[in-house]
Amino acid sequence: MARITTLPDAVAELVRDGDVLAMEGFTHLIPFAAAHEVIRQRRHDLTAARMTPDLIYDQLIGAGCVRKLVFSWGGNPGVGSLHRFRDAVENGWPVPLELEEHSHAGMANRYVAGASGVPFAVLRGYSGTSLAGHSPGVATVTCPFTGEQLSAVPALCPDVTVVHAQRADRAGNVQLWGITGVQKEAVLAARRSLVTVEELVDELPPQPGAVVLPTWVVDAVAVVPGGAHPSYTQGFSKRDNGYYQAWDAISRDRAAFARWLDEQVYTGEVRA
């Protein structure tokens, strides 16, 4: 049963130093506000898993929270590079960053295996690529019926998964819709989970395309309107494309990034 709580309390309780942390949301519903709270609480040595690290993990990485990144595509969508990510990989700043790299299909299936309670998933993929050689998390399995060789990836079971959703009811049942990405699987695969929501409602009216996470698979719900900014929440807010573009200059420069951290995160004054 999910408890309804505040974001600082939820992060304090559920996100721990050294955790495997997954913050998911595929372009849509990215839990930025929760990430900023993780930075504010100075979490460190995190293994941060996410299909598309995006600005949210560029910020966590630049702030020194992350020891290892598990991912499949690390760019600023439509803009260019993630400069804090590149600085960590290319120069070890502010701390060296270990990489565990997959394809989208591999990452998605790793969450599926985790959500399903099995230790691995099977897919067509990786065959002939250099990814297999550089990731300990890719193996080959043989079909016991046809003899065909396929790829296997290990289940990804985060210690804690954080997602953002449109709404929850007072019992802690969560409802999200629009592009729902891999959030259901990431929550079900995790040992602990935290959901930030735009609003708390008495009832969850049925909604086309909605995914419901029953309260009994969620640990905490925190009401954080705009908690996905600068990404968007379908039905509540638009994507702040200007923020993504402005991030390019901020993140290129360590000093500018440090200023951003001070002014926008550590003060708690972040717009999100």
Partner 1 sequence: MSEVSWTTDEMMTVVAARALPDRALCFVGIGLPSTAANLAKATHAPDLVLVYESGTLGAKPPHLPLSIGDGILAETADTVVSVPEVFNYWLQPGRIDVGFLGAAQIDRFGNINTTVIGDYREPKVRLPGAGGAPEIAASCREVVVVVRQSTRTLVPEVDFVTSVGFGRGAGDRERLGLTGAGPRRVITDLGVLEPDPADCELTLTRLHPGVSVEQARDATGWPLRVAADVGVAEPPTAAELGVLRRLEATVGGRGGPRA
Contact map string, positions 229 to 248, toward partner 1, x by CB under 8 A: ---x-x---xx-x--xx---
Distance in angstroms (rounded) separating the CA atoms of residues 212 and 204: 9
Distance in angstroms (rounded) separating the CA atoms of residues 102 and 132: 9
- Under rule CB under 8 A, which residues in 149-188 are in contact with a copy of itself? 150, 152, 154
Closest CA to 179 of 223, 108, 232: 232
Block residue for tokens 């079909």: 143
Name the segment binding partner 1 (CB under 8 A); options: 6-14, 195-203, 205-213, 256-264. 205-213
Q: Which does 12 bind (CB under 5 to 8 A by kind): partner 1, a copy of itself, none?
A: none
Contact map string, positions 164 to 203, toward partner 1, x by CB under 8 A: ---------x----xxxxx-xx--x---------------
Q: Does residue 120 bind a copy of itself (CB under 8 A)?
A: yes
Residue 257's region, left for phi above 0, alpha for psi from -120 to 50, else beta, is: alpha
Number of shown-chain residues binding partner 1 (CB under 8 A): 68
Q: Is 16 exposed, middle or buried (0-12, 13-18, 19+ CB in 10 A)?
A: middle
Handedness of CA 264, 265, 267, 271 (dihedral sign): positive
Which one of 128, 133, 144, 242 is in contact with a copy of itself (CB under 8 A)?
144
Q: Does residue 137 bind a copy of itself (CB under 8 A)?
A: yes
CB of 139 to a copy of itself, least distance (A): 4
Distance in angstroms (rounded) separating the CA atoms of residues 231 and 57: 13
Contact map string, positions 108 to 147, toward partner 1, x by CB under 8 A: xx-xx--xxxx----xxxxxxxxx--x-------------
Quick one: angle between helices 32-40 and 54-62, nearest 10? 10
The pair of three-digit structure tokens given for residue 214, joined into one six-digit string: 């029953």
Nearer to a copy of itself, 141 or 249 (CB): 141
Block residue for tokens 């020891």: 67
- Under rule CB under 8 A, which residues in 205-224 are in contact with a copy of itself? 206-210
Instruction: Tally Cβ neighbours within 10 Å of residue 134.
Output: 11
Distance in angstroms (rounded) separating the CA atoms of residues 244 and 100: 25
Q: Does residue 32 bind partner 1 (CB under 8 A)?
A: no
Which one of 12, 13, 77, 200 is in contact with partner 1 (CB under 8 A)?
77
The amino acid present at 149, given as its one-letter code, is: Q
The pair of three-digit structure tokens given for residue 28, joined into one six-digit string: 């849509």
CB of 242 to partner 1, least distance (A): 9
The pair of three-digit structure tokens given for residue 30, joined into one six-digit string: 């990215």
Distance in angstroms (rounded) separating the CA atoms of residues 130 and 128: 7
Which one of 61, 82, 224, 228 is in contact with partner 1 (CB under 8 A)?
82
Closest CA to 251 of 243, 65, 52, 39: 243
Q: Does residue 133 bind a copy of itself (CB under 8 A)?
A: no
Q: Does residue 251 bind partner 1 (CB under 8 A)?
A: no
Question: Which residues sit at the interface with partner 1, rule CB under 8 A?
Answer: 1, 26-28, 51-52, 71-75, 77-79, 81-82, 85-86, 89-90, 101-105, 108-109, 111-112, 115-118, 123-131, 134, 148-150, 173, 178-182, 184-185, 188, 209, 211-212, 214, 216-217, 232, 234, 238-239, 241, 244-245
